[in-house]
Amino acid sequence: MMVRRLASILISGLLTALPAGLAEAGQVEYFSTGVSNPTAGAYAGSIGFGVSNNGVAVGTTNLGQNEQAFTYTTGATTYALGVQGRALSISSDGTKASGYFSNGSTSGAMAWDTGTQSYTHLNTVLGFAIGSAISPNGLSVVGYGSNQMVSWNSNGTNTTLLGQVTGPSWQSPPANFGWAGAVSDTGLVGGTSGYSGQATSNPRVAVIANVGVANSTQQLGNGVLDSTITNPYGKVLDINTNGTFLVGESSTKNLSDVVSHAFLVDRTISDTLIDISLPLGFSQASARSVSDNIAVFGNQPLIVGTSWNGTTAAPDYSNMSASIWVPGSGALLLSDYATTAWGITFAPGFKLITAYGISTSGQYITGSALDSLGNQVGYILTTNVPEPASVISLGLGIALAAFARSRSRKRRAE
């Protein structure tokens, strides 16, 4: 009797506590502070670059001569972060962000407190630095400085030059470039390293390093998807919280053309870069952000990014689309998947063109879209992926209910 009562209470509570995403459609919100700057190319208008688990997006808006860093919170709250520049990454709880500032003759890496709108200048490392990513727990920032990957504590202390890639294929001349684009809570850094400014060839490979460990940069697995290309490149653009999944983009061949493809690395298996395919009808893609493992997707992550045809040097937005890689379904257009799987309705004339960030929980996605007038606006897409705690509760409730039924059948049989 006690077991059945307990199961009944748990199931009753579960039914009232299920996340809205299990029963309700997702939604999309657009944000902008004005009309796009037509001369700003790929970064005209407003763009969301990163998003937290509580629906706070960070990004940049470019409506005139200068970019402005800002945050946007679901429910239409926009704040300027008080500086010219770009906010590129945000912690899982939405309290800290990273990026860089630029105001005329000075520039450098930054860490923001999004609640107080205050910021910390990170060490400029011999004159110039960019803070590209902050760890999900908000403790570490990584980026570029002095032509190599750099890590900082988010309070501005412990600046560490992480070095450049070395190895048999990089000995002559020595590599002279490195840029970090991602960092996990475990201190794993991901990025690219190789050459810059060479007369004929500037190859770069995907690399990893460790926060606070000088000269720890090393090639990640095979480094690139196709090492036979004369001038190959590979770069890590995001890492999940515990450092097991890395995503990015690398050059490969499509017949005689050199193109970019998205890749995934599953470090529980190996450090090999795996081509994760293209959405139907597209020739190039970049994986920009990866969630943590999600129970309803078989404890695999969701990946978001951008797919396109042609080049990105002169953006043709008609050939760009935000994309999502779904376990078991492969590469899809984000708008198509959001409509069919999450019940999201998009306004007429709006098109999702990039997806730069997904929250570690998988509940929010951000990037940029074109509005009905062709202006680039930022967006936050709220999925109906359930919160991890709710999935655990669901499994526990089902297990207890099954146990109660088993006990009941056993007693009737006695």
Q: What is the pTM of this model?
A: 0.87
What are the CB-based long-range contacts (under 8 Å, 24+) for 154-158? 154/96, 154/98, 154/111, 154/120, 155/111, 155/120, 156/111, 156/120, 156/121, 156/122, 156/123, 158/212
Residue among 43, 393, 31, 225 at smallest CA distance from 236: 225
Which of 59, 138, 152, 67 lies closest to 101 in space, CA to CA? 67
What span, in angstroms and rounded, lies between the C-alpha atoms of 176 and 173? Answer: 9
Dig out the tokens for 87 from the structure.
């906010």
CA dist., res. 56 & res. 117, Å (int): 13
CATH of 30-386, one of 2.120.10.30, 2.160.10.10, 1.10.260.40, 3.40.50.620: 2.120.10.30
For residue 167, the model assigns a pLDDT of 79
Residue boundaries of the structural domains of the chain: 1-19+390-414, 30-386
What are 236's strand-pairing partners? 248
The predicted pLDDT at position 314 comes to 59
| Residue (of 328, 331, 327, 229) closest to 276 by Cα position | 331
Burial grade of 144 (CB within 10 A; 0-12, 13-18, 19 or more):
buried
Those residues with Cβ within 8 angstroms of residue 14's Cβ, 6 or more apart along the chain or in another chain = 393, 394, 397
User: Among candidates 228, 230, 186, which has minimal Cα distance to 208?
Assistant: 186
Report pLDDT for 378. 93
DSSP labels, 150-218: EEEETTS---EEEE---SGGGTTTTP-EEEEEEE-TT-EEEEEEE-SS-SS---EEEEEEETT-TT--E
Secondary structure element (H or E) that encloses residue 77, with its range:
strand 77-90
- Vertex 324, ends 69 and 28: CA angle to 5°? 55
Q: How many CB atoms lie within 10 A of CB 16?
A: 6
| Per-residue pLDDT in tens (0 to 9) along the chain, 414 residues | 433 333 332 223 222 222 333 336 799 999 886 665 555 666 778 899 999 999 999 998 876 667 888 899 988 777 777 778 889 999 999 999 999 887 766 678 999 999 888 888 897 776 678 899 999 999 999 999 889 999 999 998 999 999 999 877 777 788 999 999 999 999 999 999 999 988 778 899 999 999 999 999 999 999 999 988 988 999 999 999 999 999 999 999 887 788 999 999 999 999 999 999 999 999 999 999 999 999 999 999 999 999 999 876 556 778 899 999 999 999 999 999 999 999 999 999 999 999 999 999 999 999 999 988 888 899 999 999 987 754 444 444 444 444 444 444 444 444
